[in-house]
Amino acid sequence: MPRSEPLKKSLDVEAVFQDRLTQVASDIEAQLDRLLGPGATEGELARPARLIDAMRYVALGGGKRFRPYLVVECASLFGVTREHALMAGAALECVHCYSLAHDDLPAMDDDDLRRGRPTAHKAFDEATAILAGDGLLTLAFDILSRLETHPEADVRLKLVMALARASGLGGMVGGQMLDLAAEGRFDAAPPKLGEQDVKTLQAMKTGALLRFGCVAGAILGQADAARWNALDRYGSVLGEAFQIADDLLDLEGDPAKVGKATGKDAAANKATLVGVLGAAAAKRRLDALVTEAERALAPFGGSADVLKAAARFVATRSA
Ligand code: IPE
Ligand code: IPE
Ligand code: MG
Ligand code: MG
Ligand code: MG
């Protein structure tokens, strides 16, 4: 084989990953546009225009759509119909977008810019931003419970339970509570978090939703235990990597590219692995996590090459 072959192969895989991410982003935009469209859902008495406008503002027109990509890519390992994967992906993206709108509120991270645009409470007002988040969170479970998501009720129920747990007390919301508590805002002398505490906090606030994205593929694909566990492991490792990359972007990223303010975490006393380990060690950790993520996919052989590229993307992204 000529010496350039392995390099060419790896460039091809990165290109396939980018193409698929772009395709999912466009499909999810269309899907959310439809799900938040003008047609009333059965049982609806009225549709407050300001609320639907704010929900559309929060959910449409931006974001990498990496979580729905994970659902689609992981589900495709089992030959799941793309329409089903896109429904589950849309539900997950609704929870993610709601978490961003609430994360940006003055009472939380107090940010003015998100996805290169004014945050929801700046474009509307605080109460509307809160309600838009509430509306998207509940819509997520409406979507998962629909026949369109999967013909088998047992599969839909598993998706509902897994997303509820990833989103709530022991998942994203719980992690956000720990994140704010670590700033010291509820306690004059907050305990200094060590590496393990920060890992737990981040596995909850960020890891849980990314992990759900991977596990949702296994649920839709009715995977056996070995392949289910492999995706679960891949999702947890990817989640840890994702937040380290986010924290590095806060430190070193270009605000014009990331579409949100940078340089805020240290000033706000955020508990991050970059803060605990330093940037250089956090970058080494990120590299190790990519290797771990690739290894977790071993049971899938070559059919998971694009998911391996997805792990490399998480570590090297500039937005
Ligand atoms: C940002 O998530 C919030 C974190 C959990 C780190 P993303 O980086 O996926 O944001 P979008 O969806 O692409 O805007
Ligand atoms: C966000 O963490 C986690 C969420 C659950 C939204 P950050 O607060 O670091 O996310 P950004 O940097 O505002 O996107
Ligand atoms: Mg935050
Ligand atoms: Mg924030
Ligand atoms: Mg951040």
Residue nearest to atom 8 of ligand 2 (CA): 103
pTM check: above 0.85: yes
| Closest approach atom of ligand 2 to CA 265 | 9
Q: Is 65 exposed, middle or buried (0-12, 13-18, 19+ CB in 10 A)?
A: buried
* Cβ < 6 A, ligand 2 pocket: 99-100, 103, 109, 172, 176, 205-206, 246, 260
Give me the pLDDT at residue 3, please.
57
Closest ligand 2 atom to 270 CA: 9
Digits of tens for pLDDT over the chain (319 positions)? 455 666 676 779 999 999 999 999 999 999 999 999 998 788 889 999 999 999 999 999 999 999 999 999 999 999 999 999 999 999 999 999 999 999 999 999 999 999 999 999 999 999 999 999 999 999 999 999 999 999 999 999 999 999 999 999 999 999 999 999 999 999 988 888 999 999 999 999 999 999 999 999 999 999 999 999 999 999 999 999 999 999 999 999 999 999 999 999 999 999 999 999 999 999 999 999 999 999 999 999 999 999 999 999 999 999 9
Inter-helix orientation angle 208-220/153-167, to 10°: 170
| CB neighbours of residue 38 within 10 Å | 7
- Atom 14 of ligand 2 has which residue's CA nearest to it? 100
pLDDT reported for residue 191: 80
* Letter string b/e over residues 270-291, b meaning 16 or more CB atoms within 10 A of that residue's CB: bbbbbbbbeeeebbebbeebbe
Q: Relative to the CA of 206, which ligand 1 atom is closest? A: 5
Distance 110 CA to ligand 2 centre (A): 11
pLDDT at 8: 72
Please tell me if the CB atom of residue 239 comes closer than 6 angstroms to any atom of ligand 1. Answer: no
Nearest ligand, measured from the Cα of 248: 5
**CA 145 to centroid of ligand 1, rounded, Å:** 25
Beta bridge partners of 117: 114
pLDDT for 42: 85
Within 10 angstroms of residue 311's Cβ, the number of other Cβ atoms is 24
Q: What is the 3-state secondary structure (H, E, C) of the chain?
A: CCCCHHHHHHHHHHHHHHHHHHHHHHHHHHHHHHHCCCCCCCCCCCCCHHHHHHHHHHHCCCCCCHHHHHHHHHHHCCCCCHHHHHHHHHHHHHHHHHHHHHHCCCCCCCCCEECCEECHHHHCCHHHHHHHHHHHHHHHHHHHHCCCCCCCHHHHHHHHHHHHHHHCCCCHHHHHHHHHHHCCCCCCCCCCCCHHHHHHHHHHHHHHHHHHHHHHHHHHCCCCHHHHHHHHHHHHHHHHHHHHHHHHHHHHCCHHHHCCCCCCCCCCCCCCHHHHHCHHHHHHHHHHHHHHHHHHCHHHHHHHHHHHHHHHHHHHCCC
Q: What is the per-residue burial (b if ≥16 Cβ within 10 Å, else e) of 4-31?
A: eeeeeeeeebbeebeebbeebbebbbeb
Joined tokens for residue 140: 């997520």
